[in-house]
Structure 1
Amino acid sequence: MNKQRQNPNMEQYKVEKSEELLSFLLDTMSNRSRNSVKSILTRGQVFVNNKEVTKHNFRLEPGYTVTIQKNKAAKAATFEKMKILYEDDSIIVIEKDSGLLSVATEKEKSLTAYKQLMSYVRKINAKNRVFVVHRLDRDTSGVMLFAKSEKVKQTLQSGWKDMVKERSYVALVEGTVKKHEGTITSWLKENETFKMYSSQKPNDGKKAITHYKVIKANNNLSLLSVYLETGRKNQIRVHMADLGHPVVGDKKYGSKFNPIGRLGLHAIVLAFNHPVTGEFLRFKSDIPSVFLKKR
């Protein structure tokens, strides 16, 4: 095979002998595992003569051109209320919609981001698994990270504070936030009804630090950029309520109205050093359009 000139996101090869596509790819990408190569095929990253091909036994003939697209999200897979932003042998990064559980609860064991990803990776190999690294509340949308092995999960969780370089949200909150930017610090605790609340007494719970900045505001609502210094359960929701401006649609923490029909919280950026390669990766999701509509 001859490797051709390429752009950074493509690898292109000329076929020199008649053989099946999977066989060709295993030879071409000899540094990758068989599972990894099959996964690349399933995700629709392989093109023969500029046409996408996912069949393992597709017959190649001399003179054909095989193009491999790098890090293409799972086009061949269909998901409900989520999409894959990035995948490699170690991690999967998704964008989750509001209304989708991250993982199962006692009440709902069916549709979750975790279950859909587990089903997806097991189509490649029945032994494949995914592992939850962190969670987003059901009604919070945005960027979320999963590991593809127990070892990678442990690396991420044990080194989370050092490896995660940016974790930011946008929050649509009630009322006009008068202070353009600020920091909220408290110690968070959970009561018997599983509701989190703040304590100003040092070490009375888990320390939580939230930074915010107003993006825009009108008489009824404020759109904030929110940066987490710590990642506690319901941290933003509690701290916005503490500020006197609960997240829109968050009845649990004092919201009085919901003009957008969903929780006004979106995980917009997750940036981290790759747990295996150390490469810096940054993923950004668009602000939900419903957050930006004029009222």
Structure 2
Amino acid sequence: MDEELYEEDEELQELYEHQRFVVDAKQGLLRIDRFLIERLKNTSRNKIQDGIKKGYVKVNDEEVKTNYKIRPADIVTISFPKPKIETEIIPQDIPLNVVYEDDHLMVINKEAGMVVHPAHGNWDGTLVNALVHRFQNLPTSRNGEVKPGLVHRIDKDTSGLMVIAKTEPVMTHLAKQFFDHTIERTYNAVVWGEPKEDTGTVIGHVGRSLKDRRVYTVFPDGEYGKHAVTHYQVLKRLRYVSLVKCNLETGRTHQIRVHMKHIGHNLFNDERYGGDKILKGEKFSKYKAFVENCFKIIPRQALHAKSLGFIHPITKEELRFESELPQDFQELLDKWEHYVQYT
């Protein structure tokens, strides 16, 4: 989860397990509970029937009874509440790359691979585990007891700058700056292809895909999702890929990854959004081997939160921070520059 101020509806979405099935045109009449038990692994018939009775299962956006028989082309949607997991945050002495710190806040340069806060599959080893070891009584963000100090977040495999609040007033003030879009955030990304224009703006509502809730997508304005704006500038053209700078006007989940894919320039090696395949270039085996080697150099989406600027909530001073590109990112650029120069 990449690049966003915590938003209430995003948090509520995480409380449910969402699934969607479109009934095959050749499907014969079949009770809804029998239909689902074949598709929901490790889910008992009792749980399915109880979920139908409680309205967690809908057909064509309407609640049904347990004896409802599905028909071809029916759309079955499921929103089972996730089991509540009570977990204590384990303080862990994890090194952090601290860029700036005072009594009120801290700015860090997060390494790629570090999860920001505990969640399913990552209950320790996160940034939050490091923060509760380092500080006591950090403020918690809205709708979450396990996110002390966090005002925003960036994806696990995105590297770069984050600001941490040490007190409640500072968190509130910073959160308002994010909400008002007055925080300056720029990212560097390597994308497939070369944009036609040197600068541009992508405007498009971003929301969870209706087909796969693990990913986000762009929807027509007003139809679904939230208003999102990304400004980009081409910094370097490398024949089949480009280095671009992205400035976030809004901060939706996966915004840069989704917006750049939307305009045909998927982030390099972004597995979730299709950038982990050769999307531009030659058919020669030598080129394919070169790209595969580049994938190994940076086994993640090529995205780095390069700069961060905001007003200090207490001193009112304008603060701005720049970070250097991480080693894997820089090595990727060097490889492509060498390739373009000598082939």
TM-score range, shorter chain: 0.5 to 0.7
Letter in 2 for 1:171: A
**Residue matched to 2:290:** none
Task: Give the CA deviation at 1:194.
Answer: 3.1
The alignment's TM-score, normalised by the length of structure 2, stands at: 0.58
Task: Give the CA deviation at 1:78.
Answer: 6.9
> Deviation per CA, 1:12-71, whole angstroms, max 9, x where unpaired?
xxxxxxxxxxxxxxxxxxxxxxxxxxxxxxxxxxxxxxxxxxxxxxxxxxxxxxxxxxxx
**Residue matched to 1:268:** 306
2: CA distance, partners of 1:163 / 1:148: 21
**Residue matched to 1:31:** none
Task: Give the CA deviation at 1:283.
Answer: 0.7
Whether the 8 Å contact between 2:93 and 2:130 is mirrored in structure 1 is: no
1: CA distance, partners of 2:113 / 2:235: 25
**Residue matched to 1:92:** 106
From 274, 283, 295, the equivalent of 2:321 is 283
1: CA distance, partners of 2:237 / 2:186: 19
Q: Is there any run of 5+ residues in structure 2 with no aligned partner, and where?
A: 1-91, 140-147, 279-294, 337-343
Whether the 8 Å contact between 1:163 and 1:272 is mirrored in structure 2 is: no
Whether the 8 Å contact between 1:189 and 1:205 is mirrored in structure 2 is: yes
Letter in 1 for 2:117: V
Matched, 1:177 2:195: yes
SS in 2 for 1:294: helix
Task: Give the CA deviation at 1:176.
Answer: 2.2
SS in 2 for 1:157: helix
Q: Compare the two structures and name the one with the higher strand fraction.
A: 1
2: CA distance, partners of 1:128 / 1:232: 25
Q: Which has the higher contact order (CA 8 A, sep 6+)?
A: 2
SS in 2 for 1:207: coil
Letter in 2 for 1:281: L
1: CA distance, partners of 2:162 / 2:138: 19
* Percent identity for Structure 1 against Structure 2: 37
Matched, 1:131 2:149: yes
Whether the 8 Å contact between 1:152 and 1:276 is mirrored in structure 2 is: yes
SS in 2 for 1:95: strand
Task: Give the CA deviation at 1:180.
Answer: 1.4
> Deviation per CA, 1:79-137, whole angstroms, max 9, x where unpaired?
44x41111111111100011101111111111111211220124xxxx56641100000
**Residue matched to 2:116:** 102
The alignment's TM-score, normalised by the length of structure 1, stands at: 0.67
Matched, 1:83 2:97: yes
Task: Give the CA deviation at 1:232.
Answer: 0.5
Aligned residues between the structures: 214
Whether the 8 Å contact between 1:155 and 1:275 is mirrored in structure 2 is: yes
**Residue matched to 2:160:** 142
